[in-house]
Homo-oligomer: A and B are copies of this chain.
Amino acid sequence: MRQAAPLWRGLSASLLARRAAVPWQATRLYSAAAASQGVDASKLVIQKTEKPAELKKPEELVFGNTFTDHMLAIEWDKSTGWGAPKITPYQNLSLDPATCVFHYGFECFEGMKAYRDSAGRIRLFRPNKNMERLNKSAERIALPTFDSSTLVDLISKLVSLDSRFIPNKRGYSLYLRPTMIGTQKTLGIAAPGSAMLFVIASPVGPYYPTGFKAVSLEATDYAVRAWPGGVGDKKLGANYAPCIVPQLAAASRGFQQNLWLFGEEEFVTEVGTMNMFAAIKDKATGQNELVTAPLDGTILEGITRDSVLSLAREKLVPEGWKVSERKYTMPELWEASQEGRLLEAFGSGTAAVVSPVRTISWKGKLVDCGLKDGEETGPIALKMKEWIEARQYGDEEHEWSHLVE
């Protein structure tokens, strides 16, 4: 097993040290200016719709296709800071065609959900984590930052107002899409002097309406999702559009998603738009290990990833498991699979919670990820889904769950 792999071949240790040592001073300066006027939740203006939408039947919901009656929007300007938050009827944005979001990729977003618990109350799941990540994404592309808990409060207001859209049914939820865009309407490439943070909400059904359905992956090396010194660890629009053509190419060969590899070593990084986990039995000791790639700047800091790791440490380690954030490679997965030591593999993300993997196509081989015939999930993925949903839906009282009302 690879213990001391070079962090990134092609980048010397001295370069990495230098990278860590370079203060991104301008960012700090810029953010300080941007925060001159913070978001003030007390200034919230609510304009209710006069045309409430008819609710769709829950079973007719398609992810991200229908939206609630209202949206939250907050405008920011370099000289005056954040303006008054507004909840208005869901409506089009009217933007000059020169607006920088159309040209230079000034956009970042979050995906999070509101759930209805068995008592009918509404809960968000670790919403501060999403707001912290949105701040990191925004800062990386010179967009303004904000106070995370203030935004959670405002999002809670939106969710309360549109709570009738959240089906009272396990597996259903209200998908929330906080988004920040640069709105400066000039073509010079510079830090946007104005921006807008908006939040829209879409009622969604369960990712697996009829139970798990394991996916097959194509290990992808000819296209590279993220790299050291890049922005693959941030939730920027920039990271998504370039992944579609490789996904279509994989689909044309019968594979649902790309397994993104990195470098000559063929490090496993992410799967589609999810983090990737593998459960491997150690060759020497026989110990079970749940492994995922470390947050080295090329991996999105998944909140579901963090929940999976946390639950694994809480519940699997006492059962003798090892939980590792470390680099691992396709040759390692292939060898484990050949020797019957690849127990299972799954992706993790907000939409599906976990997404079990059946096979990985790699160099003309089909890597078997441990599912038996007829099985659509392994035991760890199944337990993870149950453990996480118990906290999302409030079956288990836990600090991860944020009560809205």
Contact = CB atoms under 8 A, between A and B. Distances in A.
A105 interface: yes
Given A221-B15, A228-B224, A248-B142, A98 B177 contact: yes
Interface stretch (A183-191, A320-328, A352-360): A183-191
Contact of A240 (B104, B175, B221): B104
B227 A224 contact: yes
B242 A241 contact: no
Given A92-B97, A181-B102, A189 B238 contact: no
B227 A230 contact: yes
Contacts of A19: 221-222
Contacts of A96: 92-93
A285 interface: no
B263 A11 contact: yes
Interface residues of A, number: 85
A27 B90 contact: no
A244 B64 contact: no
A71 interface: yes
A179 B239 CA distance: 19
Nearest to A8: B10
Interface string A18-54: 1100101111011000000000000000000000000
Given A91-B97, A102-B237, 9 more contacts: A12-B264, A15-B221, A19-B222, A26-B249, A102-B107, A182-B241, A224-B230, A227-B230, A230-B230
